Each structure stands twice: as C-alpha cells, then as structure tokens.
Amino acid sequence: MTSMNTTDPGAEAPVPVPQHVRSLLLALAYGWKPTPVTLGPVEQIRYNGKDFSELAPVVLLQTDRLVATLGGSRFYTRIDDLMRSAQDGELDGVFAGGGTFHGEMILRVAHVTGPHGPFTVEAASWTVLTGEAPSLWIGRIEGAVEINFGGNMVVERIPAGGFRGGHRRHFRLSGTYTYYLVQGGVRGDPVWHLLIDTGAGMPDTEMLGHDFLLLQFVLGCQLRMPELLGVTPDCHTVAAMAGTGARRNLLKRSVPPVPIERSNDEWVDEAWAVIFFERVSVAWANRPKWRAAYWMAFDSYLDAMTLHLDVDYLRLQIALEAFSYWALQHTGQEERVVVKDRTAWKKWVRDNESVIRELASAGFEDSLFNKVMGVYRLSSGRIVPSAFLAYGVKLTSEMVAELGGRDVVVHQGFMAPAGYDGERELRRIALVRTMLVALIAWTVDYRGAINGWEIGHLGYPLEPQDWWSVCDCDRRLARRTFVVEESMVA
C-alpha cells in the first residue's frame, strides 16, 4: 500500500485543493454540519400566477419539500381561486427580510385539517435564496457506507509535531461540477457530505441527478441526498434547494463495480471509482444518444443488490442484453452482423414471399414471412457476444454459457429451476454483473481495475486478470492525490 508518506519515484506530487473550499472540507471532515437556512415572514406569495399574499402565508421546509400554508381571515374569499389553480403550477414569493423562494413539481394541494382548514401547497423541486445564489453547495448523503481506503483525497489536521496519516478516504470527482465527497462520523457510523463547486450559481437539477446516479453506481450503493445547502467559503448558510436521489427505501448493501477499501491481499490505494466516474461523465456529456442506455444500466445495477437471487439475476441479464443492443446500435453494427447487405436481404425475401408463405402452416403465413424477413437482425443470444466483439473482446466459454441463463429466468421466473445452491447462484449473478460493468467500461474508455466474479480467501472479489487487463495510464491517474492539510498550533 502506498500513501502520502511513501517515497514513490513514479508518483505525482499531491495536488492542493483550491483555497476557497479548504475550510469547508476540513470542517466537514471533523464533524461540522452546515446550519439550516433561516426562513423569515413571507411578504409576498404567488401560486400559479395569482397573488395570495393576503392569506397569512407561512413557508417551511419539511424533509425534502417546501410547504406553503395559506389561511387567515380572508381565506374563504379566495378559496375558489385556490381550488381552480392547477396542481402543475409554480410557487414563488419574497420574504419580508429579503430573499426569495420558488417551488415547482407540486406534490400536493390540500386542506391541512379537514375541508374548512387552511390550505397547503407542497413542492418537490424548490429553492430558497437569501441573496445571490452561491457557487458552493453541501448535502448530507443518506445510505453511506464506511470507506477508509480507495479515495483520492486526504483531509486532515496535523497536530503540532505530529505525523501525517495520509489516508485517502475522501473523494474528489470531476463531472458536470467539481464534487468533494467527505467522510466524517465515527468508526462504524459514517457520515457523508457532498460539497459541490458549481463555479457560479445553483447546480442544474437534471445534470446533478445524472452525476448523483453515476456516483451511486461507481460506489456500488444506493444513496439519497434530500437537501442541498448553499454556503459561503467561511461556512455560512445562505441558500437551500431540493436535493436528488429518488429512492425512498435504500438497500443497506454495497456491491462496488471496482475495487474499493481493500482486496484479499491489501488495502486498495488506487481511486478506481473516481476514474470510472470521470470517464462515464465525459461520455454522458459528449454522447447524448447514449444517455438512456447508461441510465438504464446504472439503475438496473443498483436495483440488483437485493440478495433475492432470481430478481437480481433477471435484472442484470436484461440490463446486459439491453445495453449490448445499445452499444451495437451506436457503433453502427446492430444490423450488419448477420447479413452483408440488409437491403439486398429484404429484396430477396420479398421476391420469394409466395414460396415462404406456401411453406407455412395454415394461419401462420404472416408469422413465418416476418420471421424470415427479420433474420438479418441479431438473435438475443448473439447480441452480448457481438457487442463485446465490437470492442475487440472475446467472452470466455463460461461467460457465453451463462448468457444462456437469460432465457431460463425470463421464461420461467427462476434462475435455477432444477435446484438452488446459494454459493453457485451468487457466483453466477456476479459473473453477469462483471460482464455489464466491463461493457460499460469499454464504451467509456475506462481501462482501470474492475471487480470479478471469483471471491478470494478474505471474501473480497478478485480482479478478472486473465480476461481484463489494467492500463498503466489509468493506474497512474488512480494514484493521483488531492490534499487539504491544516497544521495545528501547539
């Protein structure tokens, strides 16, 4: 294992993080939490373009939503206006002491306490600003797992005359924005915060959602971030907005696609998750037509960690085949693998339509003709191997054999209808998972380490070294270190 204290002639010098985030990162790593944004009395409120300021409005933040309550003595004079306002409208307003709020994606418009009580409007997407939007935003992440190695950032306060620990247990990632994933808390009870540096203003909700899904994928765990707080470099909260992560019930299990924390022989010192994140982020930005495929693959991967064997296996097999189809389509090879000339094939079939129909059983003429016409397309059993071949990779015989399990689980609902062996079935699931990760990696030009399907003597996945090779250039990037240090005065 290498660390900041190790002399490695080939290692790059640690990179200091920008000055404007140093205090925030140190504070988060050592237990500080940003205070909630302060909401004052409401001076003006508009819902769906209509002004309801006379209805004694009160605005609160509740968990992951903004809630506006409307009542007061004039409530019944405006009840018809409220009832006619569309639920897909928007909520806007101004606080008496300055600052604004905005809400959309209205979840609920209803009476608080029966048909004669005050009205509430609840928004799922919302912002609160006390002034100009800051460029630094912090969210506490739910679903965190403990990671002591495998990051690429050191954040530590060094006692006077003390020793640098140099543990890379935090993460600095580059996507749509620059992200700093900081781990605090105590052993066995980790607390994660995500610091987002947008460069200017609020993060774009859609792009943040993409990056957050990708973060979950590369770490191999389901996460949620209900709220973001906008902060200044000196740790003052000046804004808030809705967070991201739609899952309500998080699986308390981590299955990372790449080595994190430790292997069966040593602690992992390369930040493989960071490199994978950044490669996919670049592909996402540059290849709009791929986005649906990546979203499907990441979501399926994260939903296939239930330990319900049949469900996990089915989800991964379908995701692998679907992503393979997309990969072939976007590399221009989807419809020219089976026949040399698709146009010529279709013409031949039409020229011989009468002969084909004569050979069909009664009532199945159209079915046979259409099947013959579609023969030029790859069968489902050939899509995955063909996708890998498009990147110059040949699947092992064991992988090809496992692809046959797709038809069994799709048509029968069981991955092992003849009888289950838990250890064997978990290995089969891991094999399909590895193929999905590997194909994603090839499409984004990631050549770092991935986790394989074999389990080592300490219970950690082994890297599939006989089938997957790691590029030295990615290994060097994975050893790059960012550092935030503060020397303590005696």
Give the tens place of pLDDT for each residue, 88-99. Answer: 688 999 999 889
- At residue 490, the pLDDT reads 55
Estimate the share of the chain in helix, then strand, then coil, as percent rounded to the nearest 5. Answer: 35, 25, 45
Averaged over 407-428, what is the pLDDT? 94
| Region of poorest pLDDT, from 339-343, 365-369, 390-394, 402-406 | 339-343
Averaged over 328-340, what is the pLDDT? 69
Q: Is residue 398 part of a domain?
A: yes
CA 263 from centroid of its chain's CA atoms: 24
Residue owning tokens 């006379």: 54
Q: Is residue 241 part of a domain?
A: no
Residue 294 belongs to domain spanning = 289-478
Give pLDDT tens digits for 32-46. 999 999 998 999 999
Neighbours of 41 (CB within 10 A): 11
Q: What confidence tier does 6 reach under pLDDT thresholds 50, 70, 90?
A: very low
Pairing of strands 225-231, 237-244: antiparallel
Q: Is residue 485 part of a domain?
A: no
263 or 142, higher pLDDT: 142
Instruction: Look at residues 129, 160, 183 and tell me which one is the last residue of a structural domain.
Output: 129
In 187-339, the DSSP E strands lie at 189-197, 225-231, 237-244
Which segment, 162-171, 268-277, 337-346, is predicted with the most confidence on average? 268-277
Does residue 5 have a pLDDT over 50?
Answer: no
In 235-380, the DSSP E strands lie at 237-244
Q: Is residue 313 part of a domain?
A: yes
Q: Is residue 53 part of a domain?
A: yes
What residues are paired with 485 via a beta bridge? 156
Sheet of 15-16, strands arranged across: 15-16, 482-487, 153-158
- At residue 120, the pLDDT reads 85
Does residue 194 have a pLDDT over 90?
Answer: yes
Q: What confidence tier does 456 reach under pLDDT thresholds 50, 70, 90?
A: confident
Give pLDDT tens digits for 63-113. 889 999 988 777 667 767 766 666 668 899 999 988 999 999 888 777 666
Q: What confidence tier does 464 reach under pLDDT thresholds 50, 70, 90?
A: confident
Does residue 236 have a pLDDT over 50?
Answer: yes
Closest C-alpha among 209, 234, 219, 226 to residue 181: 219
Q: Is residue 340 part of a domain?
A: yes
Question: Is the Cβ–Cβ distance between 244 and 212 less than 8 Å?
Answer: yes
Does residue 116 have a pLDDT over 70?
Answer: no
Instruction: Look at residues 84, 102, 129 and tell me which one is the last residue of a structural domain.
Output: 129
Backbone angles phi, psi at 124, to 5 degrees: -85, -30
Averaged over 251-277, what is the pLDDT? 90
- At residue 3, the pLDDT reads 47
The structural domain count of the chain equals 2
| Region of poorest pLDDT, from 38-47, 430-439, 440-449 | 38-47
Q: Is residue 437 part of a domain?
A: yes
Q: What confidence tier does 423 reach under pLDDT thresholds 50, 70, 90?
A: very high
Averaged over 323-351, what is the pLDDT? 81
Instruction: Look at residues 129, 160, 188 and tell me which one is the last residue of a structural domain.
Output: 129
Give pLDDT tens digits for 146-181. 888 889 999 998 877 666 777 789 999 999 999 999
The sign one gets for the Cα dihedral 224, 226, 230, 236 is: negative
| DSSP code for 123 | E
Averaged over 420-447, what is the pLDDT? 96
The sign one gets for the Cα dihedral 152, 223, 197, 177 is: positive
Give pLDDT tens digits for 206-230. 999 999 999 999 999 999 999 999 9
Quote the longest CA-to-CA distance of the chain.
95
Q: Please report, for residues 318, 332, 414, 417, the alpha-carbon distance to residue 380 in angstroms, rounded to integers and kept in the order given.
A: 10, 17, 19, 21
Helical H segments across 123-271, by residue range: 205-219
Mean pLDDT, the chain, rounded, equals: 89
- At residue 11, the pLDDT reads 62
Q: Is residue 268 part of a domain?
A: no
